[in-house]
A and B are shown apart, each in its own frame.
Chain A
Amino acid sequence: MSATSQPKSPGRRRFLTETARVAGGCAVTGTLLAYVARDARALPVEALRPPGAMQESDFLSACIRCGLCVRDCPYDTLKLAELGEDGPATGTPYFTARDVPCEMCDDIPCVAACPTGALDPGLKSIDDARMGTAVLVDQENCLNFLGLRCDVCYRVCPAIDEAITLEISHNARSGKHAIFAPTVHAGHCTGCGLCEKSCVLPDAAIKVLPIRLARGSSADHYRKGWEEKERKGAPLVEGIIDLPDRMPAPVGGAPEAAGGYEPAFKLPGGGQ
């Protein structure tokens, strides 16, 4: 067609080139911004979000970084991440359990202060908060695991005997004492961090980790046979023949007999 050989109007040409230039600039800027935005999602392990905080990916779409939760925290637990700090996305609230743990106020003032719902106003009881989960990360240095009765993490736990229990087992090293193993039950642990704060070691043997790191997950199709059996009131599979189990000690036999318990050595001066 002859129309295509006509020179386009300069105004239109200028409009098109300028639009293309601006659009290109925006695409570059937007890509860089998106890169920064995705990068900012990496939450350091030590940084815990306030009670009721949404999942991290949702949190960054909801938190406007106003700092009201920080101001209303009566224990100065919460801080706003400063720019350039090796921490969470700049301006977002977090706390470090080892520095100042969450004191678990009954009225949850930080959640009440949040204007956007980044901290879920549906959180009515602080016991339902899940800021993280305590994990006894270092059994080799934990004093209780060494056989001592430190018990500090257990004693300070706001949900004592629920979130942390002391599980007694035999101390094989001494042969005659017990080990009171501090044991976290994630179903009750709010992740407040009092245990981590109070651990007497130079570096805490028990630490609050983000739940994604602290916990595994059970496969959806797994069933626990003993629970199913209890629910049904009978074995799930009918007609299984239950053979007698072979026990480690001989029935009615003396300890010296084969399979019985015989100390490998005698104490000097034991007289026997």
Chain B
Amino acid sequence: MSANTSLPVGLEAIRIKGRFGAHRYLVLRRLSQAFFLGLFLLGPWFGIWWVVGTLAGSRTFDVLPLTDPLVLLQSIASGHLPELTAFVGAFIVLAVYALIGGRVYCSWVCPINPVTDAAHWLHDRLGLQKGWQPKRSARLWVLGTVLVVSALTGTIAWELLNPVTIVHRGLVFGMGFAWVVVAAVFLFDLLVSRRGWCSHICPVGAFYGLVGTKSVLRVSAANRVACNDCMDCYAVCPENHVISPALKGKSGHTPVILSPDCTNCGRCIDVCAVDVFAFTHRFDQRVSEAATQAVDAPSEYAA
């Protein structure tokens, strides 16, 4: 068991696709995270005010307003009717994420993602127990709680604790004790609950998951016949319960990963030596019939 779990993940993919090929989406994702953070930092660092504000609300090129829809929802729940600008901004954000997958926010934009990814990397290296694993629906309950507390206290409640906006605002406006929040999330994921924050607790992710329930951009296990059961995709996926229905579906079942929990991070695509997965749209029901690359794959295990 322990020998099995400590198997290095993705070696086969690295050998076949090269180091970059096996980390392409990871690299792209880090670039994307840096890009979106960089947009906000251009102003305070270099005086280039293309994007002003924070992830909670921003203004791009003086015309495009963007608002975090969950923050706005809490504001409405707490009894404030926001001005039109905030509604327009939230609508644009909702429309985009409804199209490309709500949790794309989590894996491609959120500044906390590198923190929890780092915690998970260290967790793996230290071989720690997975610890407390609340049900994945817990985050929906947290989301509900946040809205109820907002309504009861008349404040935007989650913004008092939300590590996402606190860290982002800290980076853009001044850190204060926001490092404590980063450390808390890191330690929580490292010592208390493996992948606990993003995959079990965070109500922001839960909200964006709901937003992307019917999203168009999806990962499909179209080449699932080639799967050699190496389990690497399960090992890298932060929400690995989303894989089985698509990968292990009987013929006739859709190969598309339809669960809104999927963050479209693309790590399964990276780490698969036989290229089972690919980005596509949710209506793409194509499944390859012949195991095109299955011939190479068993060699890894035959050796």
* A66, B57: Cβ atoms closer than 8 Å: yes
Q: Is B159 an interface residue (CB 8 A)?
A: yes
Which of A109-117, A150-158, A259-267 sits within the interface? Answer: A109-117
Given contacts A57-B154, A91-B159, contact A80 B169 (CB under 8 A): yes
From B14-22, B67-75, B241-249, B252-260, the one touching the partner chain is B67-75
Contact call A83/B149, Cβ cutoff below 8 A: no
Determine whether the beta carbon of B174 is less than 8 Å from that of A25. Answer: no
Q: Among the listed stretches A29-37, A95-103, A125-133, A228-236, which one makes contact with chain B, having 4 or more residues with CB under 8 Å of it?
A: A29-37
Whether B292 sits at the interface, judged by CB under 8 Å, is no
Name the one of B89, B145, B157 contacting A115, with C-beta atoms under 8 angstroms. B89
Cβ distance B12 to chain A, nearest Cβ, rounded Å: 39
> Size range of the interface on A?
35 or more
Total interface residues in chain B, CB < 8 Å: 59
Instruction: List, in ascending order, chain A residues with CB within 8 A of B290's CB.
Output: none
| Chain A residues closer than 8 Å to B165, beta-carbon distance | 65, 91
User: Please, how many angstroms separate the alpha-carbon atoms of A90 and B89 in the complex?
Assistant: 22
* Listed residue (B146, B149, B166) with the most chain A CB atoms within 10 angstroms of its CB: B149
Expressed in whole angstroms, the Cα–Cα distance for A70 and B53 within the complex equals 9
Q: How far is the CB of B225 from chain A (nearest CB, A)?
A: 35
Report chain B residues within 8 Å CB of A83. 166, 170, 175-178, 180-181
Nearest residue, chain B, Cβ from A82: B176
Within 8 A of A (CB), among B148-203: 148-150, 152-161, 165-166, 169-170, 172-178, 180-181
Q: Do residues B166 and A68 form an inter-chain contact, with CB atoms below 8 A?
A: no
CB contacts under 8 Å to B, within A102-156, are: 113-118, 121
Which residues of the partner chain A approach B204 to less than 8 Å between Cβ atoms? Answer: none
Return the CB mask of B113-154 against A: 1 if under 8 Å, else 0.
Answer: 000000000000000000000110110011011101110111
**Chain B residues within 8 Å of A38, by CB:** 153, 155
**Pair B67/A115 contact, Cβ less than 8 Å:** yes
The answer to whether B83 and A114 have CB atoms under 8 Å apart is yes
Q: Given A22-B141, A61-B75, A91-B166, do A68 and B180 touch, yes or no (CB 8 Å)?
A: no
Find the A residue at minimum CB distance from B68: A64
Find the B residue at minimum CB distance from A62: B80
A84 located at the interface, meaning its Cβ lies under 8 Å from any Cβ of chain B in the complex: yes
On whether the beta carbons of B173 and A80 are closer than 8 Å, the reply is: yes
Which residues of the other chain, A, contact B101 by a CB distance below 8 angstroms?
none
A85 at the interface (CB under 8 A from B): yes
CB distance from A236 to the nearest CB of B (A): 44
CA distance A266 to B110 in the complex (A): 85
The residue from A26, A33, A40, A71 contacting B141, defined by CB atoms under 8 A apart: A26
A60 within 8 A of B: yes
Is A13 engaged at the interface, CB distance under 8 Å to the other chain? no
Beyond A115-B89, A117-B83, A121-B83, whether A91 also contacts B57 by CB under 8 A is: no
- CB A70 to nearest CB in B, in angstroms, measures 7
Quick one: given A91-B166, A115-B86, are A36 and B58 in contact (CB under 8 Å)? no
| Cα A63 to Cα B67 with chains together (Å) | 12
Contact of B49 among A57, A58, A70, A71 (CB under 8 A): A71
For B158, the chain A residues whose CB sits under 8 A away are 33
Q: Within 8 Å CB of B53, what residues of A?
A: 66-68, 71
- The complex places the Cα of A68 from the Cα of B140 at a distance, in Å, of 30
B residues in contact with A41, CB < 8 Å: 155
Residue of B nearest to A19 (CB): B141
Check B54–A22 contact: CB distance below 8 A: no
- Most A Cβ at <10 Å: residue of B81, B82, B160: B160
Contact of A61 among B156, B172, B181 (CB under 8 A): B156
Chain B residues closer than 8 Å to A18, beta-carbon distance: 135
Closest 9 A/B residue pairs (Cβ): A82-B176, A66-B57, A84-B177, A61-B78, A117-B83, A115-B85, A60-B155, A37-B153, A62-B80
Question: Which B residues fall within an 8 A CB radius of A?
Answer: 43, 49, 52-54, 56-59, 65, 67-68, 71-72, 75, 78-83, 85-86, 89, 134-135, 137-138, 141-142, 144-146, 148-150, 152-161, 165-166, 169-170, 172-178, 180-181
Given contacts A36-B161, A60-B156, A91-B159, 5 further A-B contacts (CB under 8 A): A33-B157, A64-B56, A66-B56, A82-B175, A84-B176
22 contacts between A and B (CB under 8 A): A22-B134, A23-B141, A29-B145, A33-B146, A36-B161, A62-B80, A63-B156, A66-B58, A67-B52, A67-B169, A67-B172, A71-B49, A82-B173, A83-B175, A89-B155, A113-B59, A115-B59, A115-B65, A115-B67, A115-B89, A116-B75, A117-B81
